[in-house]
Amino acid sequence: MQRALGVLTAVAYVTLPLGSKTFEQLLVPTLLVGLVYGALAIFGFPFAQRRGRAFAVAYVLVQLPLGFAVFALSGAAVGSVLLLVVLVAQAVLLLPLPAAAAVAAVIPLVHLDMEWPDGLREGLGTLAVTGFTVVVTELLVREQRARAELAVAHERLRGYAAQAEQLAVTRERNRVARDIHDGLGHHLTVVRMLLQAARAVIGTAEPERLDSMLAKAQDQAGLALTEVRRSVAALREPRPEPLVDALRVLAAEVTEAGVPTGVEVRGAARVTRAEVEESLFRAAQEGLTNVRKHADATEATVVLDYGRDDLVRLEVRDDGRGMGDDPGGGYGLVGLRERVAGLGGEVSVGPAGGRGVALTVEVPA
């Protein structure tokens, strides 16, 4: 817009010598004063626009009488009116809209020296031109402002999209890490305990018993491989068997690994969301893995409680040596809390009665 106003100023200055048919023109003073006015319009306007409101007001107060002088010296030339129209557009860019409208209302007063019928007619025509200039310039300013705001909004949206993408990547990494820990870690723990048991009795046990232990370790290694493939592929397939059956299979694995484990179901078992059952199964895995690795327990129990309609509660308790110094500091429990919190549930770890530890998970059904 600034460039367009500069071009219009130059065109208006070139047309000043044309004067008008009605009034006499003083050519040399017109060109000199018009040159000063044009130079200020082209070079002074950007300076005032950058320096703030005080310079803007000063610019308009200087240009307005200069424009009146050019109009009078040029004999009411069309070019002088165009220069005043440029001033109106610049006033819209520099001043609040009411002030710019006041400038537009003052400019028709250049026709006061005319006979009143002609002056009134010319003044109304000039007022229409300056008013139209105010409206058009204001619309252009608002369009430019809207485009700038839209560009800023687009930039913010790109930033938000990048943040959302990074958050999604982080969440997926955490999910895969939890799956690896809960699934692969569980099966490898069972494999290690079976191999330890086999080595402990390798010199005294019957071949059939050793073969059974090694076969179970092999099966667990196969399940671990399945978990790895499942995590790498980032699959979320629902568990094919019901949660109660999956917990019984898990308890049987732990029992075979050396810690007798039972499953207790309270209330009528019901089907819940796949992500709820997955989280409860992973909680049982984590709890029993910790029992085998840290508790020195002689037995453990998994309790699945459907007694409330609005949530499902799972508890893993043992009769081991109790809570350590930092019962909630391991990655497994941190990941479990993240998984359950994503479903609106809660995880707690505390003493199990007089002895041992109880891991409790409550998830909305």
Among residues 54, 88, 113, the one where a domain terminates is 113
What is the pLDDT, as a whole number, of residue 188?
77
Q: Taking 70 as the threshold, does the pLDDT of residue 358 lie above it? A: yes
Which residue shows structure tokens 């990941």?
Answer: 335
Report the alpha-carbon distance of residue 179 to residue 223 in Å, rounded.
Answer: 13
Kindly calculate the radius of gyration of the chain based on its CA atoms and give it in whole angstroms: 43
In whole angstroms, what is the distance from residue 80 CA to residue 68 CA?
Answer: 8
| Both tokens assigned to 207 | 């071949």
Distance CA 98, CA 35 (A): 29
- Is position 121 within any domain? no
CATH number, domain containing residue 266: 3.30.565.10
CA-to-CA distance for 183 and 220, rounded, in angstroms? 11
Q: Model confidence at 278, in pLDDT bands (50, 70, 90)? A: confident
pLDDT at residue number 234: 44
Q: Among 123-137, 148-162, 173-187, which stretch is predicted with the lowest mean pLDDT?
A: 173-187
- How many angstroms separate the CA atoms of 30 and 209, rounded? 117
pLDDT at 181: 64
pLDDT above 70: percentage of residues in the chain: 87
Residue 157: inside a domain:
no
Q: Please give the helix or strand (H or E) that residue 72 lies within, else none.
A: helix 53-73
**Each residue's pLDDT tens digit, 193-250:** 778 777 777 767 677 777 777 788 777 777 777 666 655 554 445 556 789 999 999 8
Between CA 53 and CA 94 the distance in angstroms is 7
What is the edge-to-edge ordering of all strands in the sheet holding 357-364? 261-266, 300-305, 311-318, 357-364, 346-351
pTM to 2 decimal places: 0.47
Average pLDDT for 251-261: 87
Q: Is the pLDDT of residue 113 over 60?
A: yes
CB–CB of 104/91 below 8 Å?
Answer: yes
Least confident range from 100-109, 132-141, 289-298: namely 289-298
Residue 346, classed as helix, strand or coil, is: strand
Encoded tokens for 226: 């399945």
Question: Which secondary structure element, helix H or strand E, spans residue 152, and what is its range?
Answer: helix 116-179
In-domain check, residue 210: no
Is 328's pLDDT higher than 60? no
Residue 24 confidence class, pLDDT cut points 50, 70, 90:
confident
In this predicted structure, the answer to whether residue 133 has a pLDDT above a threshold of 70 is: yes
> Rounded distance, CA 130 to CA 107, Å?
8
Residue 307 lies in a domain: yes
> What pLDDT does 176 receive?
64
* Confidence at residue 40, expressed as pLDDT on a 0 to 100 scale: 92
Give me the phi and psi of 326, to 5 degrees please: -135, 75
Where b means 16+ CB within 10 Å and e means fewer, 11-21 reads ebbebbeebee
Residue 168 clears pLDDT 70, i.e. is over it:
no
Residue 206 maps to a domain: no
Pairing of strands 311-318, 300-305: antiparallel
Checking if the pLDDT of 79 tops 50, the result is yes
Position 356 pLDDT exceeds 60: yes
Reduce the DSSP state of residue 177 to 3 states and report it: helix
What value does the mean pLDDT of the chain take? Answer: 83
- Residue 172, in any domain of the structure: no
pLDDT at site 57: 93
Instruction: Please compute, for residue 61, the number of CA atoms within 13 A of its CA located in the half-sphere on the CB side.
Output: 6
Handedness of CA 21, 22, 28, 29 (dihedral sign): negative
Instruction: Indicate the residue among 54, 89, 113 that finishes a domain.
Output: 113
Alpha-carbon distances, residue 296 vs 78, 215, 265, 285, 335 (angstroms): 103, 25, 25, 17, 23
Residue 265's pLDDT band (boundaries 50, 70, 90)? very high
102-116, 165-179, 246-260: range with lowest mean pLDDT: 165-179
Q: How many domains does the chain have?
A: 2
Domain-terminating residue out of 113, 131, 160: 113
| Domain encompassing residue 55 | 2-113
Do the domain assignments include residue 316?
A: yes
* pLDDT reported for residue 219: 78
d(CA 11, CA 5): 10
> Is residue 175 domain-resident?
no
